[in-house]
Amino acid sequence: MIIVLNGYPGTGKLTIGRELAALLHGRLLDIHTVYNVAFALTEFKSPEFRDTVEKVEAIAHDLILKLPPDQPVILTTVLAGDSAWGAAEWQRIVDLGKARPPFCVVHIHCDENENIRRIQSEERDLKRKPRDPSYVLRNHAEAKPLLGADEDRVLNLDTTHLTARQSASTITDWLDQSPF
């Protein structure tokens, strides 16, 4: 099983992913684990950055495919809008999901004020995550749709008033009720 938590920065993907991995006895691959090599050694959004992300991602996906088939894998990402780069990255995730079904997508949302509060958390620095509230304001104003809405198994989860544990429990309940 591949479960993709897709949402804008500061909505709780990693925190929920940790709880979900614990509940499902699964593995978690956070987007920053993949991106941090590129952030450390290349210029953001340069051809080298994108090439590095694709190579690290390919290694990670290869390792995921070698895990026991009953081991759930939770991925976090932020893919929205209609960029060619985002579409290609999403397609690689979909291909991984097809190779290791079932493929489940959870769109993580929260309201603007809660998103601003969360994105400013100092612990985000530890993973080189953005902390600037202007990201939240821009994302909420632009409201680009998250990729994956057209997949067969999609849950839209508003985490505004939920803890990470409650969010993870909501996801596991949804998974339990989903026909696979």
Residue type, 154: V
Please tell me the predicted confidence (pLDDT) of residue 55: 96
Stretch 127-149: mean pLDDT:
85
* In CATH, 2-173 is 1.10.1270.20: no
Stretch 84-90: mean pLDDT:
93
Please tell me the predicted confidence (pLDDT) of residue 101: 95
Domain boundaries, the chain: 2-173
Please tell me the predicted confidence (pLDDT) of residue 102: 95
Please tell me the predicted confidence (pLDDT) of residue 56: 96
Q: Does residue 128 register a pLDDT over 80?
A: no
Helix, strand, coil shares of the chain as percentages rounded to 5? 55, 15, 30
Measure the CA–CA gap between 13 and 27, rounded to whole angstroms. Answer: 14
Axis-axis angle for helices 84-99, 47-66 (nearest 10): 10
Binning pLDDT at 50, 70 and 90, where does residue 132 land? confident
Measure the CA–CA gap between 137 and 112, rounded to whole angstroms. Answer: 7
Please tell me the predicted confidence (pLDDT) of residue 50: 93
